Amino acid sequence: MRNNSGNIVGKTLRLARKLSISHLIVFVALFAGIAVARQLFTSALTIVSGHHARCDQIAPSKTTVTTGETFSATVKMYNYGSTTWSSAFGVFLNDPYNKWNFGGYGLSRNTPSGSTATFNLTLHAPSSAGTYQFGAEMYIAMQGPIAFACTPVNITVNAPPPPPACPAGQTGTPPNCSTPTSGGGSPPLQGSSNRNTGGGTTPATPTKDTSPPSTPADFVAKTNTANMSVQLSWTASTDNIGVQSYRLERSLDNVNNWESLSGSITETNFEDFSVSFGVHYYYRLKAVDAAGNASPHASADLVSSGFGANAHPDSDATISSEDGLVSILIPAGALEKDAFCSIVVAQDILSPIPKGYVMLGGPYNFTCRDESDSNQTFKKAPVLTGQINKQMVKGIGKVEYFGQAEGDTWKTLKISKHDKKTLADTVELDNHSVFTIMGKQKKTSVWLIIFEIFLVLAGLVVLARFVVNWLLKRRASKQYEDTLHKSRGW
């Protein structure tokens, strides 16, 4: 009996030793598979690392509306992340069933870290009465939200009141009431505009919105010496239905020849990059609602900054963008005259983003102007350097640079040098003054996902067997010790 027990214990121990080494190797592979799966799961999360937003305000113009009514709302998002928000960023409503008939709205200008983006939205109340929540989130196109939703606001949607009725015995709609006659016609009542002689009544004319928005307040213009632009800001107008947009114009004499700068501004700020050096500019701004009613103009004026060269023919000069993502080296001998050079956010760039890409920076507009405000050409090619940080490339398979070509299309720019450590790229501009940085999104193969799921499941099975064998080993060891103790009389 003792020998038989000893043989069983010995065989179990040898099997456990043999299994433990191979299973330990598989166990390590299991952890590697779990790590890969975890990375996939992390990259699939909708909160994008490096981009962080805080909802500072969500304010509908009304909290009680009628079904189908149009009204406005203001949403303010604060950028406390490490990156600059570009036109790929925007706000959308936390509204899976699209009750408010609003798809989303993108930024019209870059919002650097530490700044606030303001969105003036036009909403349409649902067609059914009830109490609905209105919430919003900041998002990146084709990636997902970058902030938890603003705390929702409850908005009560009431059914419209019943239409006024004519007195008993009369038909029609006030003020077009009439008394039926046996002849099928009805003479018009005194003071009535009914001219229907066919036996019916003329329907009432729908009420038209004729109330204009309030004048934009605190309209201020100031110079931005960093890029010689003019920054304009104001306080949002109010309207009985909702402000749809703002229209901004500029003049040199404050009397005639008003030039339209934009007729579709939805934020409460605008930056005018098309100014000349040392010129007195006059600006006027009005708010417009959905019915076309316009507010009185708000006015502001200033003298733009004078010429100050930051690039010279006999020396190198480096010009950087405000968001710090790109810089351009202008080599000595590239310019014929002293010039002021700048890299600013390109406005009114309508070129669509290529499918499968997201915009990481820009679009930018690079110009060099001499004292006469003429654009300079280059005798030597400027060199572009892009500096994308590691947080921005999470979920990105490849970073590429594009220049705007004829026909408002994007042309790929050549990267002549890439630093793997700093992620800095040296790029050939190829005479493009408008350029942007885009990231090509990673595509995860379906077969890779299936394989990794299989790997995880197989690893769990191996882990279970490893644990069982480890328990068997411990049990066998204990049995062996007990048998040894009994055989020796301990």
- In three-state secondary structure terms, 382 is coil
Among 328, 332, 310, smallest CA distance to 319 is for 328
Residue 105 to residues 133, 254, 262, Cα–Cα distance (Å): 19, 33, 17
Minimal CA–CA distance to 456: which of 22, 17, 19, 39?
39
HEC-encoded secondary structure of 125-180: CCCCCEEEEECEEEEECCCEECCCCCCCEEEEEECCCCCCCCCCCCEEECCEEECC
Question: pLDDT tens string for the chain (490 positions)?
Answer: 445 545 554 555 555 555 555 555 555 566 655 655 554 444 444 344 456 777 878 888 888 888 888 877 888 888 777 677 876 677 777 655 456 666 566 776 778 777 788 887 777 888 888 888 888 877 775 455 665 567 788 888 888 777 777 777 777 776 677 777 655 444 444 444 444 444 455 555 556 778 899 999 999 999 988 778 899 999 989 888 888 889 999 999 988 889 988 888 888 888 888 888 889 999 999 999 888 899 999 999 999 988 888 899 999 999 888 778 889 999 999 999 999 998 887 765 556 777 777 777 878 888 899 988 888 888 888 999 988 777 666 667 788 898 887 666 788 889 888 888 888 888 888 888 888 888 887 766 667 677 778 888 888 888 888 888 888 888 877 777 777 677 766 6
pLDDT of residue 250: 94
For residue 486, give both structure tokens: 């009994």
Which H or E element spans position 349? none
Q: What confidence score (pLDDT) does residue 314 get?
A: 92
Phi, psi of 121 (to 5 degrees): -105, 150
pLDDT for 21: 52
Phi, psi torsion values for 160, nearest 5 degrees: -65, 150
R_g of the chain computed on alpha carbons:
35
pLDDT recorded at residue 349: 57
| pLDDT of the residue at 248 | 93
Measured at the alpha carbon of residue 194, what is the angle toward residues 191 and 199, in degrees to the nearest 5? 135
CB 299: neighbour CB atoms within 10 A? 13
pLDDT at 45: 40
Longest dimension (CA), the chain: 128
SS3 (DSSP) at 377: coil
Residue of 121, 112, 24 whose CA lies nearest to 71 = 121
Q: Residue 339 is inside which H or E element, if any? A: none
Local structure of 100: helix, strand or coil: coil
Q: Specify the pairing of strand 340-345 against strand 326-330.
A: unpaired
pLDDT of residue 459: 80
**Checking phi first, is residue 489 left (phi over 0); if not, alpha (psi -120 to 50) or beta?**
left
- Cβ atoms 232, 272 nearer than 8 A: yes
Q: Which residue has the tokens 């004292």?
A: 371
- Sequence letter at residue 183: G
| Whole-angstrom distance, CA of residue 338 vs CA of residue 335 | 7
Cα dihedral 393, 395, 398, 400 sign: negative
CB-based burial of residue 144 (10 Å sphere; 0-12 exposed, 13-18 middle, 19+ buried)? middle
